[in-house]
Amino acid sequence: MQRIAIYAKKNHPHASTFAAEVMDWLLQRKFEVLLEEDLAKSQGIVRDYVDRDIPGRADLVIILGGDGTLISVARHLGTQEIPILAVNLGSLGFLTEITKDETFATLERVLAGDYELSRRMKLDCVVLRAGQQLAHYSVLNDVVINKGALARIIDMEATVNGRYLTTFKADGLIVATPTGSTAYNLAAGGPIIDPQVDSLVITPICPHTLTNRPLIVPGDSVIRLHVTFEDQMVHLTADGQVGMQLQLGDVVELQQSAVHTLLIKSPTKDYFEVLRAKLRWGER
């Protein structure tokens, strides 16, 4: 690893300052450091590259922030599978497992090649309108179709691998990866899925039919959601950050991406320890 990219949470009171510490630490060890635009400006650095060049040049990505920052950067990396060292600047995150105090000791190990990767599944989400591709999203957590506050119950015809599943009548629908199972899916009553399990979960939001329950399907499934309602207040959201308004007749197609997000595992805690800490299992 020679070129190391740093991304930091925007508008965080300490992210830019800590990024400067990490950058200086790396420069002292003769590594080349790449900074995203806003971070470079905050450090008074003039770059000879633009943000879209970073994924093709970096050997390692360091993220300083939280899970939302990581999800945003994972989308920016596109088809590049680059190891990500995610440092949480607040409370422990589901994805950002490394604490600020652990940063430099963990970096020492990573740069010496002493680390393990967690390969996280991503989803390709395509929106088709009149048979033409209208949008494409690369998703780490989930795709959500939901209605506005005054919209009617949504009707969505779902198929899995070309076989009819059901027509969901609900406030919305979530399709989540194992990584995303601890996000909106969990709040909507869906199961937690270990990231090593090759699967997807389909979870209705407040279903009109009370017997509709979350369904886990194989990770290589192709899920198609056919919009059979007409309403001006229904949206698709990818990873809670980007999305679009849907129309009657739109088809949303989801399947596992060929690209993974590569997260460097914490050397001091495992996935179940993170769950216990975040969900406060065992506390009275």
User: pLDDT value at position 151?
Assistant: 66
In a domain, 178, yes or no: yes
Residues spanned by the domain of 142? 123-256
Taking alpha carbons only, the member of 159, 167, 160, 125 closest to residue 144 is: 125
Q: Alpha-carbon distance 245 to 90, whole Å?
A: 33
3 state SS of 78: coil
Q: What pLDDT was estimated at residue 141? A: 96
The answer to whether residue 284 sits within a structural domain is no
- Considering the domain architecture, whether residues 127 and 247 belong to the same structural domain is answered as yes
Catalytic residues: 67
* pLDDT for position 235: 92
- Domain identity same for 80 and 131: no
Q: Look up residue 257 and give its two tokens.
A: 């991406």
- Per-residue model confidence (pLDDT) at position 150: 64
- In this structure, what CATH number is given to the domain that contains residue 153? 2.60.200.30
Task: Look at residue 109 and tell me if it is in a domain.
Answer: yes
Residues 80 and 182 in one domain: no
Cα–Cα distances (Å) from 104 to 73, 85, 236, 273, in that order, read: 21, 11, 39, 21
Residue 116's domain is classified under what CATH number?
3.40.50.10330
**What are the per-10-residue average pLDDT scores of the chain (284 residues)?**
93 89 96 94 92 95 94 93 93 84 95 95 96 95 86 88 95 96 95 96 92 95 91 86 92 97 92 89 81
Residue 233: its pLDDT value, please? 80
